[in-house]
Amino acid sequence: MEKTEILVVDGDTTSSREMADWFGETYEVLWASTEAEGLDLARTTRPALMLVNHALPSSSGFDFLEHLKQNPRLRDIPIIFVFDQKEVEQEALALDLGVADTITKPYHPRLLARRVSNVVSREMLRTELGRREAEWRAMLNAVPDLMFRLDRRGTYLSVFARNPELLKRPKRQLLSRNVKDVLPPEAAEMTLAAIAEAAESGASYGREIELRLPDGNHWFELSMARADVGQEAEPTFILLSRDITLRKRAELEITRLARQDALTGLPNRGYFIELSERSLAMAQRCNVGLALLYIDLDKFKPINDTHGHQTGDLVLKEAALRMRSGLRSSDTVGSMGGDEFMILLTDVESAESAFQVAEKVRGRLEEPILVDGKSLDLSCSVGIALYPDHAPTFQGLSHCADLAMYAAKREGRNAVKVFEAETSEP
């Protein structure tokens, strides 16, 4: 087995043979009698420990210590300062300067062996802890997630962030603060719920929170684990918060594209039906009325055929803008495809109020549309169906509004008709 090297720097060589005998099985004892020899040997061997006499030929052990500390490679070598006689003040000074221990001659073999063993073991432990710390830090630096240690109440105990820009507040403002003081209420409650689940079952995964940061909204996925602690210690929890903003934005964009008409930006048929059915359920609970308007652009096909699809697309976009501009935020316009649209009016008191809104839409669409210097004429036919008067479901309302719209077309187009069972059937 390879022996651990110890360097003794001492002008008195009388104990060198004895020391070699005492440590021969465990340590390799190197000897230098002057400061210069000691520094040379330290540089070439970098021993695990040095015993340095405080009184060296032509210099002092304190000078040696000062020169050693100037070398970055040698400054961490532990040193036991040796005194030829008891000198309390000098021993205290040596300890203040960072030596690991002191000992006074004459050496007692067992005492010297114990102190050497203690210092070497301590240094080995320090080196190992430093190595492990470096490994853990390298691992943490490889993790893109934010990492927090929290107590059961949600107080921040420690914070690790490779990217501090993702923190809701700077690290120093998080420590000892509660999540309720830092996060928005919904995000704080979500975090506390994850802690509660982890306290009960050991871990919690999959919860998502949204935070507003200086560069915009970010979404984070939370993974919480209860830390293993002694039975008497209060449990703590390790929280990994992963930035899933890019994934979330992609999901939202996919959802938007699935729900939105690509040309006009309006809800498409499927999403409009979904929104309408939600509004119908709410209207039923609140006992209020709704109106469904079915709109067909009367003169769109000639425009499209004469001026081309690009012009037709611009006309459809303008028509969508005009329909939206005259409505309340609670009302919804949807694209049914081509030149057909629907409008859902909420909280409608009467057929007359729905008719007035439809007339306003018709009037806006009747105004000429300017495209590439050309003034294009457009009009629309609008059919109205009322909930609950005409039908209780979206399918029924859609059928009634469609019949009313065709009745408007039969009467010369560019008109608004409210559904009437007796006159709407073709």
Q: How far apart are the first and last CA of the chain?
A: 104
Are 228 and 279 part of one and the same domain? Answer: no
Q: Are 219 and 71 contained in the same domain?
A: no
Question: Is residue 52 very low, low, confident or very high in pLDDT (cuts 50, 70, 90)?
Answer: very high
142 — pLDDT class (breaks 50, 70, 90): low
Q: Which of 249, 277, 310 is the last residue of a domain?
A: 249
Question: Are 146 and 161 spatial neighbours (Cβ–Cβ below 8 Å)?
Answer: yes
With bands split at pLDDT 50, 70 and 90, how would you rate the model's confidence at 231? low
Lowest mean pLDDT among 233-237, 331-335, 374-378: 233-237
Which is it for strands 49-53 and 79-83: parallel, antiparallel or unpaired?
parallel
Q: Considering its fold, how many domains does the chain have in total?
A: 3
Give me the residues paired with residue 193 across strands: none
- 290 shares a domain with 396: yes
Q: What is the mean pLDDT of residues 359-385?
A: 92
For tokens 């669409």, name the residue: 365
Rg, the chain, Cα only: 42
209: domain CATH number?
A: 3.30.450.20
Residue 282 in any domain: the answer is: yes
Average pLDDT over residues 117-134: 83
The residue from 145, 296, 298, 339 that is catalytic is: 339
172 pLDDT more than 80? yes
Please give the C-alpha separations between residue 378 and each of 121, 181, 315, in angstroms, as whole numbers. 92, 57, 9
- pLDDT tens-place string over residues 262-311: 899 999 999 999 999 999 999 999 999 999 999 999 988 888 888 888 99
Whether residues 409 and 267 share a domain: the answer is: yes
Q: What percent of the chain has pLDDT over 70?
A: 95
Cis ω for the linkage preceding 302 (within 30 of 0): no
Report how far residue 50's alpha carbon sits from residue 47's, in angstroms, rounded to the nearest whole number: 7
Residue finishing a domain among 139, 168, 194: 139
Percent of the chain with pLDDT over 90: 53
Structure tokens that stand for 9 in this block: 């720097």
CA distance 370 to 384: 29
The DSSP call for residue 47 is -
pLDDT band at residue 131 using 50, 70 and 90 as cut-offs: confident
**Structure tokens, 138:** 């390298």
Q: What pLDDT is attached to residue 270?
A: 93
Q: Across the chain, what does the average pLDDT equal? A: 89
What does the pLDDT average to over 162-173? 86
Strand order, beta sheet including 416-418: 332-337, 340-345, 290-297, 380-387, 416-418
Same domain, 199 and 98: no
Same domain for 281 and 238? no
For residue 425, being part of any structural domain is answered with: no
Is 255 within a domain? Answer: no
Look at phi and psi of residue 345 and say left if phi exceeds 0, alpha if psi is from -120 to 50, else beta. Answer: beta
- The answer to whether position 254 is within a domain reads no
Within a domain: 163: yes
Q: Please name every residue paired with 260 in a beta bridge, in sequence order, or none if there are none.
A: 267
Which of 263, 193, 194 is closest to 225 using CA atoms? 194
CATH number at residue 69: 3.40.50.2300
Residue 424 lies in a domain: no
Cα(121)–Cα(325) distance, integer angstroms: 80
Instruction: Examine the domain organization and report whether 310 and 358 are in the same domain.
Output: yes
Which residues are paired to 270 by β-bridges?
Answer: none
By residue range, what is the domain housing residue 363? 260-418
Task: Say if residue 327 is exposed, middle or buried (CB neighbours under 10 Å; 0-12, 13-18, 19+).
Answer: middle
* Domain shared by 82 and 155, yes or no: no
pLDDT at residue 244, rounded to an integer = 92
389 is annotated as an active-site residue: no
Q: Are residues 223 and 285 in the same domain?
A: no
> What residue has token string 């949807």?
334
Supply the pTM of this predicted model.
0.56
pLDDT at residue 1, as a whole number: 59
Where is the domain boundary, 189, 219, 249? 249
For residue 12, which of 105, 116, 101 has the smallest C-alpha distance? 105
